[in-house]
Amino acid sequence: MIYFEKVSKIYNSDKVPALEDITLSIKPKEFVSIVGHSGAGKTTLLKMLIAEEKPTTGSIFFESANIHELPRAQMYKYRRKIGMIFQDFRLIPHKTAYENISFAMEAAGKPDEDIASDVPHILELVDLSEKANHFPRQLSGGEQQRVAIGRAIINQPDVIVADEPTGNLDPMNAYEIVQILQKINEFDTTVLVATHNKGVVDLVGRRVITMERGKIIRDDESGGYVL
């Protein structure tokens, strides 16, 4: 499904590559943890996948298409196949939990009847049915992240990309977020999680890619956080 072919990234202001000669394949339905210290290249790798950054050299393929060569119309369709979850939630403060999730469907042009049907189901999945009408300021950090997950999955993407999704959460809320991500993966959605949280990686117990200074130094089919 996803293939990085000898991908390197050098920012103009840096002499040290953010990514260096990355070759990597990710199969459909995998749950992959990408680990490493700050500056290891995890976020840059994810930005390449969502086409927020372009590689200096190399290519990235999604279902045989070179994503950085897609015309604008095709790029829009491609990005709809990926749901993104951020460390800082990025919710719209003046919209309720229900409205934050429904907004993603509205932006995708979904009809009102689909929104009315699907949003309550997603709220139930992330265990927020009782707080559908709460604004972000009325929710805990863990609850805000669950809204963000609901927003990311509402349009049924093929891939969920999560960049430090538990970085601002306490251990209990982090555990709950991981459980939801695992549940999403059980619905045959590919999940990529960049994290430095050892507890998260050990809990998942699936494939672990370890990065250091822009390179992949380990790729274990199953296991925990090893650095």
Determine the pLDDT at residue 224: 62
Determine the pLDDT at residue 200: 86
Contact 2, 199 (CB under 8 A): no
Contact 212, 40 (CB under 8 A): yes
pLDDT in tens, 42-71: 999 999 999 999 999 999 999 999 999 999
Determine the pLDDT at residue 167: 87
The answer to whether residue 166 is domain-embedded is yes
What whole-number distance in Å separates Cα of residue 147 and Cα of residue 131? 10
Determine the pLDDT at residue 16: 80
Determine the pLDDT at residue 225: 61
Sheet holding 65-66, edge to edge: 19-26, 2-9, 57-62, 65-66
What whole-number distance in Å separates Cα of residue 5 and Cα of residue 112? 41
pLDDT at 15 over 70: yes
pLDDT in tens, 101-155: 999 999 999 999 999 999 999 999 999 999 999 999 999 999 999 999 999 999 9
**Per-residue confidence at 26, pLDDT binned at 50, 70, 90?**
very high
The answer to whether residue 18 is domain-embedded is no
The answer to whether residue 71 is domain-embedded is no
Contact 159, 3 (CB under 8 A): no
Instruction: Give the domain CATH number at 134.
Output: 3.40.50.300
- Of residues 62, 17, 47, the one with CA closest to residue 163: 47
Residue 124's domain comprises 28-43+77-220
The answer to whether residue 94 is domain-embedded is yes
Contact 180, 158 (CB under 8 A): no
Determine the pLDDT at residue 49: 95
Determine the pLDDT at residue 179: 93
Determine the pLDDT at residue 71: 94
Q: What are the C-alpha distances in Å from 89 to residues 51, 77, 78, 164?
A: 20, 23, 22, 10
The answer to whether residue 16 is domain-embedded is no
Contact 10, 17 (CB under 8 A): yes
pLDDT at 76 over 80: yes
**Per-residue confidence at 12, pLDDT binned at 50, 70, 90?**
confident
pLDDT in tens, 186-225: 999 999 999 988 888 888 889 999 999 999 999 998 766 6
What whole-number distance in Å separates Cα of residue 150 and Cα of residue 101? 6
Determine the pLDDT at residue 199: 84
Is 153 in a helix, a strand, or coil?
helix
Determine the pLDDT at residue 45: 96
Question: Angle, to 10 degrees, between the axis of helix 141-153 and the axis of helix 97-107?
Answer: 20
What is the amino acid identity at position 35? Answer: V
pLDDT in tens, 82-92: 999 988 999 99
Structure tokens given for 45: 């790798």
| Domain total in the chain | 1
**Per-residue confidence at 14, pLDDT binned at 50, 70, 90?**
low
The answer to whether residue 67 is domain-embedded is no
The answer to whether residue 82 is domain-embedded is yes
Q: What is the DSSP letter of 110?
A: -
The answer to whether residue 15 is domain-embedded is no
Determine the pLDDT at residue 168: 87
